[in-house]
Chain A
């Protein structure tokens, strides 16, 4: 894997670190598992170790969807139970051998998990959590009322042990298998986080809107992540059923889901080591205090209260809440912005013969308010079109219609000869139309470099399986994206901040990063919504230079902006909107001399 060579002299891709981290995981975990397996003879200790390792797998699975991707669907115990019941029923009642029943039941759990996750496509946050709780309750009832198949409220006793190639494993041999599986689970999740899939997942959590604007098909991404996570939880369920030998509906109860969520939150959602810490602590502590068994729930409740109030980001990053609040812009070195690299070199594919973007006769009303009526505008590659107009004149609405956020009441949006009216945002982005937002929507928790890598995901995602297994191909895809990101960062004068979190950048640099990130999705037409807002005079000048270079590289740009010095300097054509209608269209000179524009927009100084 000579992947970092392609980056040349640029800052190294994160790959070497990631590989080192993975090796460390393997070494530590294997050593621990081997020691545990050899030393343990006490059946209770073996039982506890098994439980702990199985919980670790489940919480790592949950970390993919809830931790990294931020999807508050929490019916993980039901998914786990589908894996457990599926494998138990298949072996006991249909005589299917374990080696076949286990993976098939896990695939079933995967499908079940996707079904449970379907509400994520429409809902978010608390509503999603509510729906998944309801789903979990329904699943629990099915296990309870499943008759002889599920054993009803009593469950299924005497499940045969794990059997491989005709040999039934003893308890300590089973423990070794489970340990190996949990090591593999940690390895897979670590590889996943370091892959483009992992970055896309975090992007989804940080801003679904921005992720879609970079061409990420968020529906497909969510389904894939839930499938992977649920298969993993299902595998854990099968291991549980065949090693503990007894399952009951309790294992799939909503309470069990809460405990898994609590383990993740206590340890640190979205961290690599949080699930290990959380699952380990919350499995062992209640059992070690076994005389307090009747206070089990009370103890869990108190731990949850303390965790959420004292260290909301989890044990795996205890300092996080003390040192950094989200709003804090850290002082940065004054950067020699945009003078460093040739920005046009970062236009990955100058899009030969790419179509122009045109809006034809767009109308859009909100309630009684006509935001746009019969507006037409065209942007061709290699031109900068300015859109100006008073506040509330429909400029941002137009961008939202062009990028599919709003469905127009009338009119069409075309790229070349292709009609993209009201298509999903991700599809429009893949057609080369990429936007920025008026208030930057960066992936605040990702580094500058990772923000710039997400844009490459839709073009070259690789397979999710490859990402989980950390294949050479997956690493190579990441390395390529990292090299592109470093080049983009250099072109925008952000190379010193490459490994800083995007949320810690100053306002000015956040705006630059938003433009750079949009470019990382290889647009042919770039839509900029007030990129110079909040920029100082010097920064505005730099922005002009960047825009001019991008135009020279063949990019078409639509520029919404109130800084007239910027607009008049860089635009080839200007469209003026007023109250949702076209007030004027022309060259900067024509617009400047237009009396109607002066009155409606520019103000008294321009008239004098």
Chain B
């Protein structure tokens, strides 16, 4: 890796956070460079979702700092962090149930309304629907009547249409059929090719590492390992603890 002169898109430095008296994250440090896919893996309850919630401002850290291009953002409120282009897709979808698929996507482009014209946004919506054929079929349906997996796709598409500078996904594979998981991950690779920077929290550790450049392993709120995806995939202890059979999709 060449030393880049630009500060990383995201730098998390000795971050601690928790809920009330129970602290969940301890001294977590990591950094993400422009154009990388970085995955965070770990067991349930290890603090992966808490990490994303802290970065996106939904939770205030109890210690440490979060920096975006070298600027501290951990004091900002969640909407301001989103306005900087750091978008978080939480685990539980949160689509706008009483609005149509199309309206959900247009709302995803809300922050672009002023800068980009309506025509551009409508064009982007069409291309987004082309990338998610299931959603295209249901474009006029209310989001609330979509199946669980379709809602998950909608949540991802709604975030992508906002052209985030940094996209944080919390278990995008949740509830998706294996074939759809493949295509969602393929879309993430396309986004990276276009210059997007992505943080991916996943239970399907094998697939996540397969598309990621680097990975961090979180255990009980601490980073216990980090390295390139190839290094992590090759490690015996990682395989045993998180990967299991290496062919989830392939049976």
A contact residues vs B (CB 8 Å cutoff): 322-325, 328-332, 334, 366-367, 369, 388-393, 395-397, 438-439, 506-509, 530, 533-541, 562-565, 568, 592, 600-606, 608
Give which listed residue, B24, B92, B171, contacts A331 with CB less than 8 A: B24
Which chain B residues border A392 with CB–CB below 8 Å? 134, 137-138, 146-147, 149-150
A-B CB pair tally, cutoff 8 Å: 148
Which chain B residues border A334 with CB–CB below 8 Å? 43, 45
Stretch at the interface among B156-164, B175-183, B191-199: B175-183
Which chain B residues border A330 with CB–CB below 8 Å? 19, 22, 24
Question: Using an 8 Å CB-CB cutoff, how does the interface string of B119-159 with A read, 1 for contact, 0 for none?
Answer: 00000000000000010011001000111111011000000
Please state if A323 and B244 are interface contacts (CB–CB under 8 Å): no
Which chain A residues border B50 with CB–CB below 8 Å? 329
Which chain B residues border A325 with CB–CB below 8 Å? 19
Please state if B177 and A538 are interface contacts (CB–CB under 8 Å): no
With A331-B220, A391-B150 known as contacts, the answer to whether A603 contacts B179 (CB < 8 A) is: yes
Give which listed residue, B43, B45, B177, contacts A391 with CB less than 8 A: B177
- Give Cα distance in the complex from A605 to B251, angstroms: 9
Please state if B44 and A507 are interface contacts (CB–CB under 8 Å): yes
Please state if B251 and A324 are interface contacts (CB–CB under 8 Å): no
Which chain B residues border A601 with CB–CB below 8 Å? 177-179
- Give Cα distance in the complex from A323 to B21, angstroms: 7
- Give Cα distance in the complex from A330 to B21, angstroms: 10
Which chain B residues border A592 with CB–CB below 8 Å? 251
Which chain A residues border B138 with CB–CB below 8 Å? 369, 392
- Give Cα distance in the complex from A602 to B150, angstroms: 17
- Give Cα distance in the complex from A562 to B180, angstroms: 10
CB of B205 within 8 Å of the partner chain: yes
Please state if A606 and B251 are interface contacts (CB–CB under 8 Å): yes
Question: Using an 8 Å CB-CB cutoff, how does the interface string of B10-52 with A read, 1 for contact, 0 for none?
Answer: 0000000011111110000000000000000001110101100
Give which listed residue, A390, A536, A539, A541, contacts B177 with CB less than 8 A: A390
CB of B71 within 8 Å of the partner chain: no
CB of B96 within 8 Å of the partner chain: no
CB of B116 within 8 Å of the partner chain: no
Q: Which B residues from 236 to 251 make CB contacts under 8 A with A?
A: 241-245, 247-251
Question: How many B residues are at the interface, by size bracket?
Answer: 35 or more
Please state if A391 and B174 are interface contacts (CB–CB under 8 Å): no
Which chain A residues border B174 with CB–CB below 8 Å? 533-534
- Least CB distance, B200 to chain A, in whole angstroms: 15
- Least CB distance, B138 to chain A, in whole angstroms: 7
Please state if A568 and B251 are interface contacts (CB–CB under 8 Å): yes
4 smallest CB-CB distances across A and B, nearest first, come from A391-B149, A603-B179, A328-B19, A508-B44
CB of B108 within 8 Å of the partner chain: no
Other than A322-B20, A328-B20, A392-B147, give 7 A-B pairs with Cβ distance below 8 A.
A369-B138, A392-B134, A392-B138, A534-B171, A565-B251, A602-B251, A605-B249
Which chain A residues border B178 with CB–CB below 8 Å? 562, 564, 601-603, 605-606
Which chain B residues border A396 with CB–CB below 8 Å? 147-148
Please state if B243 and A537 are interface contacts (CB–CB under 8 Å): yes
CB of B203 within 8 Å of the partner chain: yes
Residue of B nearest to A507 (CB): B44
- Give Cα distance in the complex from A388 to B251, angstroms: 13
With A324-B19, A391-B176, A534-B174 known as contacts, the answer to whether A564 contacts B249 (CB < 8 A) is: yes
Please state if A366 and B145 are interface contacts (CB–CB under 8 Å): yes
Please state if A389 and B147 are interface contacts (CB–CB under 8 Å): no
Which chain B residues border A367 with CB–CB below 8 Å? 141
CB of B213 within 8 Å of the partner chain: no
- Least CB distance, B129 to chain A, in whole angstroms: 14
- Give Cα distance in the complex from A469 to B203, angstroms: 50
Residue of B nearest to A562 (CB): B177
CB of B103 within 8 Å of the partner chain: no
- Give Cα distance in the complex from A530 to B237, angstroms: 28
Which chain B residues border A533 with CB–CB below 8 Å? 174-175
Jot down 15 A-B pairs with beta carbons below 8 A, ordered by A: A323-B19, A330-B22, A331-B18, A334-B45, A369-B138, A391-B148, A391-B153, A392-B147, A507-B91, A509-B45, A537-B244, A538-B244, A564-B178, A603-B182, A606-B249
Residue of B nearest to A592 (CB): B251
Residue of B nearest to A510 (CB): B44
